[in-house]
Amino acid sequence: MNHELFIIITLSIAVIFLVFRLSRISASIKEIAYFLKDLSAGNLNARLFPKWKGDLGGIANNIISVIEKTRTRLDFAEAEMQRMEAILRGMSDGVLITDVRGTVILANQTFRNLMAVNEDIEGKQMVEVLRNMQLVDIFRNTVDSGNIISEEISIYKPHKDMHLIATAVPVYSRDLAGDSVTGTVLTLHDITRLKQLEEMRKDFVANVSHEIKTPITAIKGFAETLLDGAMDDKENAVRFLGMIKSHSERLNSLVDDLLTLSRIELGDIPIKKTEVDVEQVIDTVFMTLREKADRKGLYLKKAISDGTQTIYADKDKLIQVILNLVDNGIKFTEKGGVTVGIDETGGRVTLYVQDTGIGVPQNHLHRLGERFYRIDRARSRELGGTGLGLAIVKHLIAAHEWNMRIESEPARGTRVNIIIDRYL
């Protein structure tokens, strides 16, 4: 009997111990289950603090180790993603990232500026917010073909036409079915300035060729006429020689202006600023051009207040600037004259050259200063201009770190303002 009681007690204790162990294991499993449930819900900050040993403790520690490594990798990936996003947002090129359906994932500020989009377009359909079928077609062709597509597109704005290179690159992901396009990266590179420079280069080559060819053709024609017998006609021979001389001087003037402009643009003509007496500069210019103005019955007038007015400038370059501007004024003025003065209103100092000539239409003002640009080409050639004088003036003013503003109205004259930063 005692033996049987011992066995019953022993079995009872074993059962109680087993139930206790199972209860602890069950609680531990529940704790692990709750922890995994938090993780699956996206709570990466969930923590597990195992208080048990043995196999279950080992399993828990292995889970914790895997989670910590995963958390570290996710933190690193998030930091890398943030760095990449910062790079994309700060790029000078426009960047648009979309999914395969055309939903905007990211659009940097440059892209929004180029496309004139002021709203936040992330999360919206690109076809709705961009309203540019060229870009939409590039996106669709890239998604359909899986190829990189690059095209030149134009965007027309009220005050400025823009030319862009749009490049769409497909984004792939690998799944059981193989590689598939999941989105695109669209970049916009602004080539407007390059287009303008290319047009300027073409215009420059065409204009130089024409300007050089015209006097050369004239010189060749008069020389051939003289060789064909016109030398015996003394009166015409003298006139032809005079024409040859005139065209050779025009050709020489063109070459000189081209060389001067080239040297200024390359920085080979240094600007050495000293105190310069403005009145003395104006007197020098008037003395040079007085005879030319008198032949047309025009006045040359100074408008400077009493006392010596000095500015900080390169004297020779300033004379060249004023000389070109006054010469232009005389050329395009038939009645009245040219005034050179200093205006100190508005809290700043402006040296100006004003004529009473034919004036310039508003739509031409922004192009004044371009090489060879003429409003009336026939009249300019008749008056002997090379079309480079104002371009030289513009560059010399910029070299002084000054600003130039031109005001004009047809039949009411033109005023060229040189805004001087430093006044002594």
Q: What is the pLDDT of residues 49-105, one digit of tens each?
A: 555 555 556 666 666 666 677 667 766 666 666 676 666 666 778 888 899 898 988
Q: For residue 299, give Cα distances in angstroms to 23, 102, 245, 288, 319.
A: 114, 69, 30, 14, 19
pLDDT score at 424 = 47
Q: What's the structural domain count of the chain? A: 4
Residue 112: the pLDDT is: 84
Same structural domain, 334 and 417:
yes
For residue 369, give its domain range. Answer: 271-424
Same domain, 7 and 153: no
Q: For 43, phi and psi rounded to 5 degrees?
A: -85, 90
Q: Are residues 98 and 220 in the same domain?
A: no
Judge if 223 and 350 occupy the same domain. Answer: no
Are 195 and 162 in contact by the 8 Å Cβ rule? The answer is: no
48 phi and psi, to 5 degrees?
Answer: -125, 125
Point out the domain boundary residue: 190, 211, 244: 190
Angle at 382 between CA 380 and CA 385, to 5 degrees: 45
CATH of the domain at 421: 3.30.565.10
Residue 200 neighbours by CB distance under 10 Å: 14
Alpha carbon distances (Å) from 417 to 117, 161, 249: 37, 28, 30
What's residue 168's pLDDT?
A: 92
**What is the pLDDT at residue 355?**
92
- pLDDT for 423 equals 47
pLDDT of residue 149: 92
Residues 236 and 301 in one domain: no
Same domain, 292 and 401: yes
Q: Rounded to whole angstroms, how far apart are CA atoms 212 and 215?
A: 6
Q: Pick from 163, 190, 217: which residue ends a domain?
A: 190
Instruction: Give the per-residue pLDDT at 56.
Output: 57
Which of residues 239, 269, 299 is at a domain's end?
Answer: 269
Cα–Cα distance, 31 to 209 (Å, whole number): 88
pLDDT at 297: 93
The pLDDT of residue 340 is 93
In this structure, the answer to whether residues 97 and 204 fall within a common structural domain is: no
The verdict on 260 and 279 lying in the same domain is no
Whether residue 208 sits in one domain with residue 165 = no
The 10 Å Cβ neighbour count of residue 312 is: 14
How confident is the model at residue 76, as a pLDDT?
65
Q: Which stretches of the chain score pLDDT less than 50?
A: 378-380, 383, 423-424
The verdict on 291 and 310 lying in the same domain is yes
Instruction: Examine the domain organization and report whether 291 and 402 are in the same domain.
Output: yes
Angle of CA points 402, 406, 410, to nearest 5°: 170
Q: What is the CATH number of the domain that holds 156?
A: 3.30.450.20
Q: Which residues contact 135 (CB under 8 A, 6 or more apart)?
A: 126, 153, 166, 186
In the sheet that holds 337-343, the strands lie side by side as: 299-303, 337-343, 349-355, 413-420, 403-409
Judge if 45 and 177 occupy the same domain.
no
